């Protein structure tokens, strides 16, 4: 088959259709030769045409082919030295996925041919495999990037008004009875009117999707009949995963994804992506050769002094080398693509500390952050860090630079400890409730730097947090050795499901306590999909491999009363700017006497003194929030004012009588939240200096009248 080929351009990288043909460009600094392979069908065992790329500009190999277009399947074969001890693992017998592929057709079919070495050979990865991997590896797809966005623009919802909802594309709708069965678990299902209506009524402002970049399932999981459900094993940083598509695999998944974003935006909901730029799905030196490893191993990965091996700050076997310009470019190009072409509103960076490492140490002024900070596109969206990795010094909560928000793991731990009755300082509880100024007030950061959460995809659900003392991960096939063993959970008196009505009542109340604490805290609340109606994973705190009803939301069995409470709670937060402050409470420290905008009290109605904050056994306190002390202006320039609030927290197991403060804080108060009941409404009224009984393990919120 003869095909006309032209020189092409080194930019942009990837496969770019211009209306007349396709430009192919791939970075491979140490390669000696690169071949473009074209396929007619994704199931073909062999390429229909192999073209040697002759042009090379600044380590980029490029070619232009007229008269081909969208839907064209392709891959690469890259020649060079196979010298693992020198960091080179070139093997032209392996078909390679373009790192810049905008769509990927099919999924990986595991076979020994996918490995650059002979599996089982006594020399292990130093041996050389001559098996062709083309029959088993998915192919890149040329796409037509045009799409009718119908005027869609970024919503740019301010962080202080944001409420984030973490969800899995498939798990959210896989069992939804009101969504057509043929689209459940797909991008189209998230765009369905039933889904949109639910999210709007709940009141969330942004949905944060677990990884949707094209990923692979580990071989050992597939052999056990399991899968990489969460998707933290990326192999294509530009391609929406085909497994969540419902209308086709030849680029249609890109259109479907864009339509999902457009419909969510139309409903006033932002889309944030959980992204995994710290490693790839190729694993350690014993992993397969699928893309980066075969294209130019030494130019993509962080290698040890013995270049045969990989630095592993991620627990996956490898770490991408964000210190190298070509890797930085890959990450930045990917982020800009998702913002500009896919209209994404922000990103949550998995194991972000790994991206910040200069040599071995985490450095918040690393080139990665410098490049993002100066980028006029990326710096304007929501940037959220998971501020840790598994390496030494990797726990970096509070250490990320201005412009970044962080998953606040200290908030999660503190609030769990407080409500389970563990020894913890009241001082830390106060810090976490008020935005964690001890972590974020430096570097001109604001309370919105703190992404507050009680639960996340990794760990117990909210229901399981109050129902299990121990993890129950037997279904994962690792003898219950996986997952965190220190969950700061409490089963309320029985392990797992029980018919004991008293225990079940306590569990529901503890859920209301935790949710109320979350949504009344300063910072940005993040709710995990299903926690609002009592979703359980049956005690599994590491359901990364469970693509089944362990992980999927049970829409039929949802707790409607808890769901109603959560609706009301979110609406209450959004109605009152007191709980959504842009600025810090004034005064350092925030704990003290006579502060204008906030004051802390013991149950006897006395303002807290410094010595009170050091008690690790105290479980009860109250906080006064002055609605006239917000010190911010609205969009139209008027001063923001609100009701004042008096919130009483009692994590003690017995009732406590609280005395209300004097008239200067408020003459009359109406009870608006009582976590002993499942309805948020105006109840009894109280006057200053009167007493109120706060039942054990509960919160009562009073609002000035």
Distances (CA, A) of 202 to 241, 527, 529: 27, 11, 11
How many Å apart are CA 282 and CA 102, to the nearest integer? 19
* The residue to which tokens 């639960």 are assigned: 455
How many Å apart are CA 459 and CA 485, to the nearest integer? 10
Point out the residues that are catalytic. 350, 386
317, 390 Cβ separation under 8 angstroms: no
* The residue to which tokens 């592929």 are assigned: 101
452: three-class secondary structure by DSSP: strand
Q: Residue 151: phi, psi to the nearest 5?
A: 80, 10
Q: Which among 233, 219, 351, 229 is positioned nearest to 281, based on CA atoms?
A: 233
How many Å apart are CA 680 and CA 519, to the nearest integer? 13
Q: Residue 74: phi, psi to the nearest 5?
A: -155, 165
Tell me, letter by letter, the H, E, C secondary structure of 174-202: CCCCCCCHHHCCCHHHHCCHHHHHHHHHH
How many Å apart are CA 271 and CA 156, to the nearest integer? 11
Q: Which among 58, 102, 63, 83 is positioned nearest to 325, based on CA atoms?
A: 58
Q: Chain-centre distance of CA 654, in angstroms?
A: 38
The distance between the two most distant Cα atoms of the chain, rounded to a whole number of Å, is: 92
- Where do runs of H (alpha helix) occur along 434-499? 437-440, 462-465
C-alpha dihedral, 507 to 509 to 515 to 520, nearest 10°: -150
Tell me, letter by letter, the H, E, C secondary structure of 350-417: CCHHHHCEECCEECCCCHHHHHHHHCCCHHHCEEEECCCCCCCCCCCCCCCCCCCEEECHHHHHHHHH
196, 264 Cβ separation under 8 angstroms: yes
400, 440 Cβ separation under 8 angstroms: no
């Amino acid at each position: 088959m003869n095909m006309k080929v032209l020189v092409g351009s080194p930019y942009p990288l990837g496969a770019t259709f211009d209306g007349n043909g396709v430009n192919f460009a791939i970075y491979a600094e140490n390669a000696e030769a690169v071949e473009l392979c074209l396929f007619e069908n994704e199931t073909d065992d062999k390429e229909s045409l192999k073209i040697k790329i002759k042009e090379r500009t600044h380590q980029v190999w490029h070619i232009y082919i007229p008269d081909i277009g969208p839907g064209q399947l392709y891959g690469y074969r890259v020649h060079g030295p196979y010298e693992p001890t020198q960091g080179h693992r070139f093997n032209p017998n392996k078909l390679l996925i373009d790192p810049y592929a905008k769509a990927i057709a099919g999924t990986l079919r595991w076979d020994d041919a996918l490995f650059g070495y002979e599996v089982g050979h006594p020399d292990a990865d130093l041996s050389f495999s001559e098996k062709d991997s083309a029959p088993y590896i998915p192919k890149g797809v040329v796409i037509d990037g045009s799409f009718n966005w119908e005027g869609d623009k970024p919503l740019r919802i301010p962080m202080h008004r944001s409420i984030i909802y973490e969800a899995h594309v498939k798990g959210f709708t896989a069992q939804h009875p009101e969504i057509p069965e043929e689209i459940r678990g797909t991008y189209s299902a998230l765009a369905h009117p039933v889904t949109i209506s639910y999210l709007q009524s709940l009141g969330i402002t942004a949905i944060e999707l677990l990884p949707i970049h094209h990923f692979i399932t580990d071989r050992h999981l597939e052999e056990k009949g399991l899968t990489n459900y969460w998707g933290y094993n990326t192999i294509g940083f530009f391609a929406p995963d085909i497994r969540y598509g419902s209308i086709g695999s030849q680029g249609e998944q890109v259109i479907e994804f864009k339509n999902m974003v457009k419909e969510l935006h139309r409903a006033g909901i932002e889309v944030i992506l959980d992204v995994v730029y710290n490693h790839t799905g190729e694993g350690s030196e014993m992993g397969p050769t699928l893309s980066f490893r075969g294209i130019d191993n030494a130019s993509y990965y962080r290698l040890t002094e013995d270049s045969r091996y990989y630095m592993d700050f991620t627990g996956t076997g490898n770490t991408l080398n964000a210190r190298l310009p070509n890797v930085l470019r890959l990450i930045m190009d990917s982020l800009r693509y998702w913002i500009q072409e896919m209209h994404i509103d922000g990103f949550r960076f998995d194991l972000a500390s790994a991206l910040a490492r200069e040599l071995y140490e985490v450095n918040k002024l690393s080139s990665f952050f410098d490049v993002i900070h100066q980028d006029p596109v990326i710096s304007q969206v929501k940037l959220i860090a998971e501020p840790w990795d598994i390496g030494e010094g990797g726990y970096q909560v509070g250490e990320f630079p201005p412009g970044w928000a962080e998953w606040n793991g200290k908030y999660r731990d503190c609030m769990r400890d407080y409500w389970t009755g563990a020894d913890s300082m009241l001082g830390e509880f106060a810090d976490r409730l008020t935005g964690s100024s001890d972590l974020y007030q430096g570097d001109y950061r604001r309370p919105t730097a703190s992404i507050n959460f009680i639960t996340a995809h990794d760990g117990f659900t909210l229901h399981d947090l109050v129902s299990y003392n121990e993890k129950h991960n037997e279904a994962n096939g690792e003898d219950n050795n996986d997952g965190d063993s220190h969950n700061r959970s409490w089963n309320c008196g029985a392990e797992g499901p029980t018919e004991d009505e008293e225990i079940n009542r306590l569990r529901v109340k503890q859920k209301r306590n935790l949710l109320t604490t979350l949504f009344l805290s300063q910072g940005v609340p993040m709710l995990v999909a299903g926690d609002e109606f009592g979703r359980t994973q049956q005690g599994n705190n590491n359901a990364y491999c469970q693509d089944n009803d362990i992980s999927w939301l049970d829409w039929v069995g949802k707790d409607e009363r808890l769901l109603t409470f959560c609706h009301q709670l979110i609406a209450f937060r959004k109605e009152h700017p007191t709980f959504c402050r842009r600025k810090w409470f004034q005064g350092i420290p925030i704990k003290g006497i006579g502060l204008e905008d906030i004051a802390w009290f013991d149950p006897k109605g006395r303002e807290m003194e410094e010595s009170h904050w050091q008690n690790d056994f105290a479980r009860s306190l109250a906080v006064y929030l002055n609605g006239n002390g917000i010190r911010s202006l609205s969009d139209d320039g008027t001063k923001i004012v609100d009701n004042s609030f008096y919130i009483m927290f009692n994590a003690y197991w017995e009732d406590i009588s609280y005395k209300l403060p004097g008239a200067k804080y408020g003459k009359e108060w109406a009870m608006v939240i009582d976590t002993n009941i499942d309805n948020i409404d105006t109840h009894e009224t109280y006057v200053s200096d009167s007493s109120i009984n706060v039942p054990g393990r509960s919160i009562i919120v009073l609002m000035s009248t």
